[in-house]
Amino acid sequence: MLESLKKLLEKDTMKVIGLISGTSCDGVDAALCELSGHGVGNLKVKVIAYHSEPYSDALKKKILDISNPKAGHTDELCRLNFRIGDSFSRAAENIIERAGLPREAIDLIGSHGQTVAHLPPRTEIGPGSTGHVQRHGSTLQLGEPAMIAERMNVPVISNFRARDMAAGGQGAPLVPYVDYLYFTHPERTRAVINIGGISNMTYIPKGAKIESVLAFDSGPGNMIIDALIQRITQNKVHYDKNGEAASKGQVDGYILNELLKHPYLKLEPPKSTGREEFGATYANQVFEWGIGRSVKPSDILRTATDFTAITLADAYKKYLLAKGPVDEIIISGGGAMNGTLMARMKREFGAAPIALSDDYGMPIKAKEAIAFAILARETILGNPGNLPSVTGASGLRILGQITPP
């Protein structure tokens, strides 16, 4: 093992596959990248291929079921870990086939896995206590890396979040470290926004030093929207393509104002969130609440879409613009393809110039998979992959665990 890793370290250029399944649980996103150089202004990323391996409806249901703390069982969790690992393995196989490369050409795989629980540290009132206590954070991603390493015969880096949490951090978001490497500009201040199941944003001042980067999960992304369209269509439609269904509805001001009272939105960074706060359970509550007030389903969907846009804009104004003018806003993630969401965002963000990460060589759908390819290489090189200013960890840490080929 040590000999193979030593040979890997001698390579100036690595072909690395990044794998991730997001909070929407649609399937596995895979990006095959050629990576070279290191550090701000020196990292070179060439995207060779991108592939999305959809989950079957049955597997997606199992993942969502196991993510419900009231429904999970350890035997189901155990089986699901290997079943998801098999899906991740197939995604890696298929992207190599799509790229027309032999397996021997792949140097490394970075697998984020499938998050089924993310419980970041929070300051809470302990039972029977008059003071505040800090809940220790914990996180769990499934997708057994040994399955991937066995099938691909390539070293796999996985379990990225845990080390940051062990150091007192939120364990997320981790992509901002890649934003820092890739998007830092000597003369332009940038805001990088990713709208996945959850939305997050990264503030990168011009010529940024690592400690001056600010990033956090702003709140909901596509997660509530996806859950609502699935509820409305009885699971016949899994996402609102281009925001077409939401475009037929009207915003219900009362419901919107109530949504904006969500306690997560009042937390100060560092902060991260997930399905536990903005998942299907919350979306179903919003739906039932709206129907109970005789609000049309299309209006509930439109209100949730605008809720995502407004929370993004509010966080941008409160935390990023407070630090000074922003020259560019760069957006990625599936939400960038929702025309109704983007139109509301442009209204909320005003005159700020908005571009897609595509324009900077980072495909919007592949960004997170690319990020974990980069983070895997950073781990192999012995470089930290977290930003303490973002996660609240006590210091820089090398992330992930290595499963040898």
Residue 125 pLDDT: 44
State the DSSP string of 192-236: EEEESSEEEEEEE-TT--GGG-EEEEEEESSHHHHHHHHHHTTTS
Strand 138-142, strand 156-158: pairing: unpaired
Q: What is the mean pLDDT of residues 374-384?
A: 96
- Distances in Å between the Cα of 154 and the Cα atoms of 45, 58, 96, 161, 401 are 20, 29, 12, 21, 14
Residue 73 pLDDT: 77
**359 part of a folded domain:** no
Quick check: 124 pLDDT over 60?
no
Q: What is the mean pLDDT of the chain?
A: 92
Quick check: 54 pLDDT over 50?
yes
Whether 156 and 189 map to the same domain: the answer is: no
Distance of alpha carbon 283 from alpha carbon 279, whole angstroms: 6
Whether 387 and 243 map to the same domain: the answer is: no
Whether 195 and 89 map to the same domain: the answer is: no
C-alpha torsion 330→112→390→281, nearest 10: 90
Whether 316 and 198 map to the same domain: the answer is: yes
* Confidence category of residue 136, pLDDT binned at 50, 70, 90: confident
Q: Are 267 and 317 in contact (CB under 8 A)?
A: no
Q: What is the mean pLDDT of residues 300-315?
A: 98
Q: Are 303 and 341 in contact (CB under 8 A)?
A: no
**357 part of a folded domain:** no
Q: Is 137 left (phi over 0), alpha (psi -120 to 50) or beta?
A: beta
Whether 287 and 212 map to the same domain: the answer is: yes
Whether 335 and 231 map to the same domain: the answer is: yes
**135 part of a folded domain:** yes
Quick check: 308 pLDDT over 90?
yes
Close Cβ partners of 7 (under 8 Å, ≥ 6 residues apart): none
Q: What is the mean pLDDT of residues 316-332?
A: 95
Instruction: Using the 3D structure, point to which of 352, 372, 388 is the last residue of a domain.
Output: 352
Domain boundaries, position 76: 2-174+364-403
Strand 156-158, strand 401-403: pairing: antiparallel
Residue 41 pLDDT: 81
Whether 89 and 207 map to the same domain: the answer is: no
**358 part of a folded domain:** no
Distance of alpha carbon 313 from alpha carbon 175, whole angstroms: 20
- Looking at residue 149, its amino acid is A
- What are the structure tokens assigned to 171, written together? 């364990």
What are the residues facing 21 on neighbouring strands?
114
* Count of domains observed in the chain: 2
Residue 12: DSSP 8-state: S
Quick check: 402 pLDDT over 60?
yes
Whether 334 and 369 map to the same domain: the answer is: no
Question: What CATH number does residue 70 fall under?
Answer: 3.30.420.40
Whether 144 and 206 map to the same domain: the answer is: no
Q: What is the mean pLDDT of residues 152-169?
A: 96
- Which pLDDT tens digit goes with each residue over 174-186? 999 999 999 999 9
- Which residue did the predictor score with more confidence, 100 or 22? 100
Whether 376 and 239 map to the same domain: the answer is: no
Residue 129 pLDDT: 43
* DSSP alpha helix (H) spans, 316-396: 339-349, 367-380, 388-391
Whether 170 and 190 map to the same domain: the answer is: no
Q: What is the mean pLDDT of residues 152-163?
A: 97
Residue 3 pLDDT: 77
**58 part of a folded domain:** yes
Residue 128 pLDDT: 44
Identify the helix (H) or strand (E) that includes residue 332.
strand 328-332
**371 part of a folded domain:** yes
Instruction: Using the 3D structure, point to which of 331, 352, 373 is the last residue of a domain.
Output: 352
Whether 212 and 282 map to the same domain: the answer is: yes
Q: What are phi and psi of 15, to 5 degrees?
A: -100, 115
Q: What are phi and psi of 347, to 5 degrees?
A: -65, -45
- Which pLDDT tens digit goes with each residue over 349-362? 987 789 999 999 99
